[in-house]
A and B are shown apart, each in its own frame.
Chain A
């Protein structure tokens, strides 16, 4: 028996208003996340990963707005929810970790208080009770001496510690879905692994589903069972993580996979240039017609420049949007 998925996104479109014109910054994005499942979303900067996440938690702000499609969370369409119903979901059942732990916390408020807010907002706790729960929450993200750290201000903590505080905030109410938007990009490599372990362990323990957003394919492959690849506002490929690595279907995905630096490659093959995908993601106002990847694609042909490819199901599960996939 298959239970209803936790999150269903169908044909999501996010419009960017520039002057009087509207451009679809994200288009035709559909995916589902089951209870406790982990989905990765990869792509270069400017592909629409972050704004997709912001749309899910209802935090898009001018000039961005949802332009079409549906987002169903636990069977309910979130666009139809009132502002106060949405606030009850936000933080409580869907929460988010941001990229910049340096600026994502209020510099004038002790971190304990910033965690405690969650219990006051969603659990009806008194401030006293909430402060006590905040110490526990800090302990759960493996911050040493949490009873003293709660009184610290963000500037007194390291980047890794701040991100732990962010995780403590995000997981405080035991949400069903955690949106992690590049949670380790701003951190040292050694700290990155610890933070990822933390997210993985805690979400597994609480049965929290995770949407992990990153430009780092290696990280995504490590964390997630399924991976969606975004390019220029479209989901171009979505499959099981190991398939993406073993046999990427979309030329963009193979480009991403090929451009991963390989540890020890130099010893075996000598000094080589790292692979890259030439060119950059076009700005929203200048998305090309046809397949949006065609100007950068090695396999581009006339049909790619004329028609936008539809999502084609793959035998191994998942789909790809490419005219040339086998």
Chain B
């Protein structure tokens, strides 16, 4: 098991390297630098001399391959560089934003799991029943709703009309501020989880070993508890892992909308300002989170399913 985890961690290295290279190339190709982004507001115009000085200061006047070499050498020592804007180490800037994003992602996934999995389960136990029909219509809608529209509607209803919850911001970090963004972000994975769970349960309900269980004289509730739950869990867990990663990526939209001080809004701001070290760092951290979560899911699946080998 331990060697499996170590091997999986080592496997992430080439992925990290490839992602780093990709981001680096992308931001070398797109027009604009940090210096030019400061002058683009139309009022203050930086003169050429200042721009040259700034580019020199940040090492942006070096050829691409030299900069890439330096960057990779930096990464090798776990140094993500320094933010152009705040002159802080990128690692510190990200660390500050990591917890709010983690809060948001975890809360939205908990919401999605707590509602989506039982819903899919119940729907599958009475296929074609009214719960099934309603929940699957809901699931399709949930998957198709744009997150920012949903977020706005939630704000309108719960903050403006009902006044139950704060409309945006992190506030004092209390759970009241977390609810609306987490729901806005969690609806899509909820819908997907409900559908996946339903499909998994239906498939397993028709499996031969469930027929064997019934032939043993087992009640349906025991069939579900003894033979269905574990087998469904493997499929559902895999979906949860993938959705977790997606949620972290999609947090960008929701964080921006709710002025949530997470990695996503940091990323958007940093792209606008061409604060490239922060952009690179944020994306790398997001990719790393995605890989780690999926590794965790693989380990869990292997624990549940004896057919999966740690290789």
Q: Real complex partners, A and B?
A: yes
Question: Known: A87-B218, A89-B217, A90-B217. Contact between A155 and B306, CB under 8 A?
Answer: yes
State whether the Cβ of B209 lies closer than 8 Å to any Cβ in chain A: yes
Q: For chain B, what secondary structure do more than half of its interface residues adopt (helix, strand, loop), or is it mixed?
A: helix
How many chain-B residues does the 8 Å CB contact rule pick out?
Answer: 22
Contacts A87-B219, A105-B209: A153 and B214 contacting too (C-beta < 8 A)?
no
| Of A29-37, A116-124, A141-149, A196-204, the one with at least 4 CB within 8 A of chain B | A116-124
Select one of A118, A153, A169 contacting B306, CB under 8 A: A153
Q: Is the CB of A169 within 8 A of B208?
A: no
Closest A residue by C-beta to B205: A61
Instruction: Judge whether B211 and A87 touch: CB under 8 Å.
Output: no
In whole angstroms, how far apart are the Cα atoms of A105 and B213 in the complex? 9
In whole angstroms, how far apart are the Cα atoms of A155 and B304 in the complex? 14
Residues of A within 8 A of B227 (CB): 106, 109
- From 106 to 156 in chain A, residues with beta carbon under 8 angstroms from any chain B beta carbon are 106-109, 117-118, 121-122, 153, 155
Whether A88 contacts B217 by the Cβ 8 Å rule is yes
List residues of B (107-159) whose CB comes within 8 Å of A's CBs: none
In the bound complex, do residue A105 and residue B226 qualify as a contact, i.e. CB atoms below 8 Å apart? no
**B207 contacts A103, CB within 8 Å?**
yes
- Cβ of B216 < 8 Å from any Cβ of A? yes
Q: Which of B213, B227, B234, B304 has the most CB of A within 10 A?
A: B213
Q: Can you list 24 A-B pairs, Cβ within 8 angstroms, ordered by A?
A: A84-B219, A87-B217, A90-B214, A90-B215, A90-B216, A90-B217, A91-B218, A103-B207, A104-B208, A104-B209, A106-B213, A106-B227, A107-B231, A108-B231, A108-B234, A108-B306, A109-B227, A117-B218, A121-B216, A121-B217, A121-B222, A122-B217, A155-B307, A169-B212
Q: Which parts of A83-99 form the interface with B (CB within 8 Å)?
A: 84, 87-92, 95-96, 98
User: Which of B214, B217, B226, B304 has the most chain A CB atoms closer than 10 A to its own CB?
Assistant: B217
Contact A98 B217 (CB under 8 A): no
Q: Within 8 Å of chain B (Cβ to Cβ): is A100?
A: yes
- Whether B211 lies near A59 (C-beta < 8 A) is yes
* Nearest A-chain residue to B233, judged by Cβ: A108
Tell me the complex Cα distance, A107–B231, Å.
Answer: 8
Name A136-181 residues within 8 Å CB distance of B: 153, 155, 166, 169
**In the bound complex, do residue A107 and residue B216 qualify as a contact, i.e. CB atoms below 8 Å apart?**
no
Chain A min CB distance to B118 (Å): 21
Q: Which residues of B, 271-311, contact A by the 8 Å Cβ criterion?
A: 304-307
